[in-house]
Chain A
Amino acid sequence: MDTEYVVKKVAQTLATIFFVLTFNFFLFRILPGNPFALLFRGPGFSREAVNLLNAQFGLDQPVWVQYIRYLENTAKGNLGLSYTTRAPVANMLFPRLMNSLVLLLTANVISIVIGIVLGIVSAWRRGGRTDLTLSASTLLLYSMPTFWLGLVLLFAGVVYFGLPVAGMTTLGANLTNWFDYVGDLLRHMVLPGLTLVLGLVGQYVLVMKGALLDVFTEDYMITARAKGISTQKLLWNHAMRNATLPIITLIAINLGLTVGGAIQTETVFSWPGIGLLTYQALLQRDYPMLQGCFLVIAIAVILANFVADLTYGYLDPRVRTG
């Protein structure tokens, strides 16, 4: 692949990351309401204590000094101390990130596979009853509010199938056997995973179908058909190759966004992921934690897009030379 293209993409990515870092920093400084001020409303905090806390978190320095320190610390991987637990933000953030990834990557992979297949079916039988049914049902699912869908599935799953209500693991069970542990994890993943898949699959079906239909109208498809190429080769070697590009963009965007965690799904199922962590930090006004979460999510999206750009460049020659 063209070196210049790669270098350009890398430079763009780094510039975006730097911008995000800066924006992240200032965003939390302009929010109203000093989190420590609220502690005044109880008989707890004295003025001296608040001043000490301000000093400890460096909030009494001028803004640009805080900014430099922030950049230094982030480069070292020090995302600060949480206001509520006084423990390093990174300690809580990365395990929760892993929890989110386990759930969301699984759900995404399943949605992608099902979505692509259904999209192909829908495009191939366009106008037929299969297409109408698929389009209608996926649109229906896609437009359902995730929270509601999650609650409905939670209710049905617990009442009729005896699935667990919340969390990632069963409490009180010391599962040392690897197989048992994975089984327990899968049991807990069924309902939130299903909620996510039902919500995500619609996107992939519609995009796949749209991309394929666009390709079907191209001239080279008619040429290939005229040359006598079989349907199977037609679909795979000619249509799918070109229709995959929009899908890859969508996959990259979705995978980047998965790091943000599906806040609604995680809230309904109490899945200990980064989405729920962000929400909790928001409620408790734990600014360092929020800042850390935003940073991780933003960087994940940027990196995912970077990978998408490179993949695009690899797959589509027009992009890297144009």
Chain B
Amino acid sequence: MQQKRHDSSDCFPSLLYEILQNTSREKILSKKLNAMISLAILLVSSNFVVFQVHAAAPTDTFAVGWNGPPMDTINPMLVTVYDGGAYMVNHAMYDKLVQADSNGDPAPDLADSWEWKDAQTVVFHLVHNATWHDGVPFTAADAEFTINLIIANKDFFPLMRTYVTSVDSAKALDDYTLQINLKNPDAKFLQASLIMTYIVPKHIWEKVGNYTSYANENPIGTGPFKFVRWEPNSFVEFDANPDYFRGPPHVKHLTMRYFSSVNAMILALQSGEIHATGPILPPTVVPLMTSNPGIQVISRPDLRYYYFNFNAFANGTGNPTLRDERVRRALAYAIDKKTLAQTVWQGFADVLNSIMPTALGKWHNPNTPDIPFDLDKAAQMLDEAGYKVGADGIRISPDGVKMIYKIQVPSSYQEELRAAQMVAEWWSKINVKGIPELVEVGALGDIVVNWKHDTFIWVWSATSTDPDDFLLVFTTEQICVPGCMSDSGFSDPEYDQLYQQQLQATDAVQRQQIVWKMQDIVAEHVPYVPLYNNYAIQGFRSDLFTGLPQGIVPPVSQFAGNNLFVNVRPVVPVTTETTQMTTQITTQTTTTQAEVIPTATIAAVIVIVIVLALVGVLLMRRRKPAS
């Protein structure tokens, strides 16, 4: 048979051109290709065009999307991190003794009121009407059991353990009175620790043999929602608890779904498949949400800050020039924090002058002297300190050590790599060499713990508005080999003294003054260059639901307190409710006004595709060959 010799592997673009230009009747396929390409181009460019959110049908199921660490356990004791999905799902089912109000101060939860008998003893008066999801009444025995359970198993409860470090014991004085004895005075015990500690039922948990891997298949809590079912790392479904002691929630169902792609999550928010996002969104998706009238974007400073660290530890193996305070100060003059905040966070961050995040309100000292961006001053300081420029263009210390530093960024904060690169660029202008490097987070942890680093960019975060966590890092006792929490080697006796004072201070004003002074001391010696306090950004479908938290409520990047789940309600009350209707009212139909493809059509399409394939094969077999 004759065959046209045409090698289709050459001149691919011209082939495409030929195909696209051809309009003869036989070229139905190429027309389709043309259309496909146009559609693809259209779709790509329209990726940044926001489509109008059409009014979605009211629903009484509050759907939450989650893009952080997935929900991997429904056992509140085995939760590993407080900003993961697992912590959040337990939030809907379990309560704590106290919660945080909008100022971050302790407010009643399972405990109605409390008083401090002395600096180490606090007595709680518990609510009388709380019940577990299986109907058994909640009593002080459950709280006593839980706290003692955590203490007894603290090596296996990685997160809960951290909240009872200052607790000696808990005792139920009667059915609704609980006394907690602390090992040492801890002024912030309630708002930093107790607000995070879930209370579990004694009558179920005391029968568990092995606590290290208890699955907790059917969780029973006192919370506003009851567990229905879940798929690990995928989703959890809840039903409202009508007997919740603060009154039943205003939505009938709650669902939480894990999204592995933030783009998909925003799309789901826009289409109404979910009504809230968590934990926080990157600033780049904000334009996709703000142009939608149905979506409200909430952003507020998160309880964390990014910092640039110097290894100033005398026994470390990093570049020894960093142990010279003048060097650190000069290098700090060569970092433009405002530009970094703008580049990495698009302005969704507060530039910091001190090691306390602005999110902590009154604890942040606005008067701590800031180091402005001044390359000339930096160069001058280094010259004066004797760090002259060498023959290769890099400054050398009087001892002959070159000013070459690795700037390491953990893989969990990849966006900071850009910041590291910019710092290296500024440093090169003052003849200092910075080497930006992205390091796997576990490996960087090892490096830092062994004091092998030069400089790095990382984050400190906390779960409460109490400043203690942010101050602890700079105490002398946190310097260990291998490392504890200190990663700069900063040590100052006056600072250590003030730290103890603020821990025991009873007067808030006095404590604030101490905390402010501590920030000044740290700023003087520049173990860090504090960079910025980024904002937690979240999106809500405010056209469908109301009652959403507006301010900082610790732990701020989560749906904090029980408030969200208890207060959220549909904007338009859902009146019609039958068991059959539930399937219809849920997310499938709450999309744009384009048609929804019914199941039968999809099945038909698949069948047709297969049939067409077979028909094609049959046709092929009957075709007469060209001679």
Contact = CB atoms under 8 A, between A and B. Distances in A.
Interface stretch (B259-267, B501-509, B520-528): B259-267
Given A81-B213, A172-B582, A167 B61 contact: no
B167 to A, nearest CB: 15
A262 to B, nearest CB: 13
A270 B261 contact: yes
Given A40-B483, A187-B602, A173 B258 contact: no
Interface string B427-446: 00000000000001111111
Contact of B257 (A42, A166, A187): A166
Contacts, number: 268
A33 B441 contact: yes
A171 B625 CA distance: 55
B586 A272 contact: no
B494 interface: no
A217 to B, nearest CB: 10
Interface stretch (A69-77, A277-285, A312-320): A277-285
B592 interface: yes
B5 interface: yes
A137 interface: yes
Given A110-B609, A172-B63, A40 B621 contact: no
A173 B16 contact: no
B11 to A, nearest CB: 11
Contact of A171 (B70, B255, B469, B620): B255
A158 B161 contact: no
Interface string B444-456: 1110110000000
Interface string B240-278: 000000000000010101111101110110010100000
B207 interface: no
B78 interface: yes
B237 A135 contact: no
A81 B214 CA distance: 12
B285 to A, nearest CB: 13
A59 B610 CA distance: 53
Interface of A: 32-35, 37-46, 48-49, 52-53, 56, 81-82, 84-87, 92, 95, 110, 113-114, 117, 120-121, 124, 126-137, 139-140, 151-152, 154-156, 158-168, 170-175, 180, 183-184, 186-187, 190, 231-232, 235-236, 266-270, 272, 276-277, 279-280, 283-285
A152 B40 contact: yes
B127 interface: no
Contacts of B29: 130, 133-134, 137
B597 A155 contact: no
Contacts of B44: 152
A187 B40 contact: no
A53 B592 CA distance: 51
Contacts of B261: 151, 267-270
A269 B69 CA distance: 17
Given A160-B594, A186-B602, A114 B609 contact: yes
Contact of A156 (B18, B22, B43, B617): B43
A117 B616 contact: yes
Contact of A232 (B27, B154, B597, B621): B621
B47 interface: yes
Given A84-B80, A163-B597, A268-B264, A38 B442 contact: yes
B596 A121 contact: no
Quick one: which of A85, A87, A95, A269 has the most chain B CB within 10 A? A85
Contacts of A163: 597
A280 B215 CA distance: 20
Nearest to B6: A127
Shortest 5 CB-CB contacts between residues of A and residues of B: A33-B442, A183-B599, A127-B4, A171-B255, A165-B268
Contacts of A160: 592, 594
A174 B583 contact: yes
Interface string B586-621: 111001101111011011001001100100110011
17 contacts: A40-B445, A43-B162, A43-B165, A124-B620, A132-B19, A133-B30, A155-B43, A170-B588, A171-B237, A171-B255, A173-B583, A183-B599, A183-B600, A187-B602, A232-B621, A235-B621, A270-B234
B180 interface: no
B597 A162 contact: yes
A164 B599 CA distance: 12
B271 A166 contact: no
A186 B603 contact: yes
Nearest to A151: B263
B26 A52 contact: no
Contacts of A134: 29
B116 interface: no
A149 to B, nearest CB: 9
A274 to B, nearest CB: 11
B136 interface: no
Given A120-B620, A164-B588, A187 B599 contact: yes
Interface string B21-38: 010001101100100110
Contacts of B47: 151-152, 155
Contacts of B445: 33, 37-38, 40-41
B413 interface: no
A6 to B, nearest CB: 33
B574 to A, nearest CB: 13
A154 B599 contact: no
Contacts of A132: 6, 8, 15, 18-19
B443 to A, nearest CB: 4
A232 B258 contact: no
B585 to A, nearest CB: 9
